[in-house]
Amino acid sequence: MRHSLAIVGLGMMVAALQMPLTAQADPVDDALVIDDIEMVTRTKAPEGHPLDEVRSGWLYREAETRELEADSFQNPGMLYVEQGADIWNRVEGPEGKSCASCHNDAAETMKGVGANYPKWDADAKRPINIELQVDKCRVENMGLEAYKFDAAEQKALTTYIKNQSLGEPVKLDLSQGELQSWWDQGKELYYTRTGQLNFACASCHEANSGQYIRADHLSQGQANGFPVYRLKQADMVSLHNRFRGCIRDTRAETPKAFSDELMALEVYVTWRGTGLSVETPSVRQ
Amino acid sequence: MATPKPRVKLPKTASAGEVVTIKTLISHTMESGQRKDSDGKVIPRQIINKFSCEFNGAPVFSCDIEPAISANPYFEFSAKVKESGTFKFTWVDDDGSVYEDEQTIEVK
């Protein structure tokens, strides 16, 4: 009798080891509506995508955090949108111009723009994102200096510009210039293990999305809501800041913001969220 | 820090005696006074320490705010409106600055 019990016990132990060691938690089944615009938070993945369905990080957050994003009044990110609107309309620099001097009303001229970046910059022969596009305008047309990375104004203005595309589906045109080869490089980086912890982006955001890494519910790591209002920082966090944070957490050397590596990664990661709505400013943990 | 900017949301109209929900949000870093900068020096405390709301001069809601409150403090409360009038909102900063906002409501 004692003998057979031991065997049963052993059998249970083997069964337990075959189960995943991390707690499984699926993303919620919930609809995100912001100012009467229904957001696409789940959609069929584009051709060539490793996953069947792409999902917004919103689905992986706690109910309170989701609620905060769904109410555009409560969303603290909207404070930065308002700040961005002031910057948009403010005359600055020796040319006496504001963003609005050339681009008029952002609600019309910037609608959809944020959904299609990064684009190919034929002059610089590299991809360009919203932050770099703003810098280009500042230097070439306004006679100003480029913003320092993550300057408060840079984050506010980027948030404002991307917010004009709220609800628009993310779509990149990879046929522009050499964007496809940058996409390839980005993909390479996405799957390359790095740092003392030896993690690739895919280790968490593809192989283990939906599971917990300690207390953190891993999402697919989509870029559609950036810049995001992160409760941890109580501030806007740019995509390149988050890239650097993630890479630092693997205990690797972090590439500089807007470096070739991170621009390639931005092209690829943004593409992975094809079809998701722009949610800027999204709210995350 | 950019000048704090208050946001207030409440209905434009209400029926007499209706209980309306008022939401307020203000941008503020709410520096707790317990953090240190990269040189190890304490970053001085600067928070909003008081918030109040009045309707036609009569107090509706007020509270003292302590350093543990996060950046960009948000308050939501309700008020019963019997007559048309103006809600006045006041935030008081540690440096003495006062940020104000007003919003009218019409009782039909």
Q: What CATH number is associated with residue B60? A: 2.60.40.10
pLDDT in tens, A216-238: 899 999 999 999 999 999 899 99
Where residue A6 falls among pLDDT bands split at 50, 70, 90? very low
Higher pLDDT, A20 or A281: A281
Mean pLDDT to the nearest integer, A126-152: 96
- Dig out the tokens for B42 from the structure: 């304490």
The pLDDT, as a whole number, for residue B34 is 94
Report whether pLDDT(B71) > 50: yes
Residue A131 and residue A258 in contact, taking contact as beta carbons nearer than 8 Å: yes
Residue B45 and residue B94 in contact, taking contact as beta carbons nearer than 8 Å: yes
Least CB–CB distance from A234: residue in B5, B9, B70? B70
The pLDDT, as a whole number, for residue A25 is 61
Residue B40 lies in a domain: yes
Report whether pLDDT(A16) > 80: no
Where residue A27 falls among pLDDT bands split at 50, 70, 90? confident
Query: What is the DSSP track for B8-51?
Result: EE--SEE-TTEEEEEEEEE----B-S--B-TTSPBPPPB-EEEE
Average pLDDT, chain A: 90
Residue B78 lies in a domain: yes
Residue B1 lies in a domain: no
Mutation target vs A (from B8, B24, B27, B35; most A CBs, 10 A cutoff): B27
Q: A33-75+169-284: what fold?
A: Cytochrome Bc1 Complex; Chain D, domain 2 (1.10.760)
Distance of CA A252 to the CA centre of its chain: 20
B74 chain-A contacts, CB cut-off 8 A: 74, 76
Report whether pLDDT(A12) > 90: no
CB proximity list for A274: less than 8 A, separation 6 or greater: A45, A46, A49, A54, A169, A170, A171, A172
pLDDT in tens, B16-25: 999 999 999 9
CA distance B23 to chain A (A): 8
Least CB–CB distance from B72: residue in A73, A76, A152? A76
Least CB–CB distance from B25: residue in A73, A234, A235? A73
Mean pLDDT to the nearest integer, A95-101: 94
Contact status of A67 with chain B (Cβ, < 8 Å): no
Contact A76 B7 (CB under 8 A): no
C-alpha distances in angstroms, A216 versus A47, A153, A211, A242, B101?
Answer: 29, 30, 8, 15, 39
The pLDDT, as a whole number, for residue A15 is 45
Contact A82 B7 (CB under 8 A): yes
Mean pLDDT to the nearest integer, A93-117: 94
Contact B71 A234 (CB under 8 A): yes
Percent of chain A with pLDDT over 90: 86
Mean pLDDT to the nearest integer, A14-33: 62
CA distance B72 to chain A (A): 7
Report whether pLDDT(A1) > 50: no
A74 chain-B contacts, CB cut-off 8 A: 23, 25, 74
Question: In the A/B pair of chains, how many CB contacts fall below 8 A?
Answer: 32
> What residue segments make up the domains of chain A, in order of their start?
33-75+169-284, 77-163
A73 chain-B contacts, CB cut-off 8 A: 7, 9, 23, 25
The pLDDT, as a whole number, for residue B2 is 67
Q: Which residue of A lies nearest to B75 if distances are taken between CA atoms?
A: A74
| Domain housing B13 | 6-107
Q: How many helices, marked H, and strands, marked E, lie in chain B? A: 0, 8
Where residue A4 falls among pLDDT bands split at 50, 70, 90? very low
B7 chain-A contacts, CB cut-off 8 A: 73, 78-79, 82
* Identical fold, A33-75+169-284 and A77-163: yes
Q: Which residues of A are catalytic?
A: 246
Q: Which of residues 70-89 of B touch A (CB under 8 A)?
A: 70-72, 74
Q: What's the CATH superfamily of A77-163?
A: Cytochrome c-like domain (1.10.760.10)
Indicate the number of domains in chain B. 1
Does ipTM exceed 0.90?
no
Mean pLDDT to the nearest integer, B41-61: 96
Least CB–CB distance from A76: residue in B2, B9, B25? B25
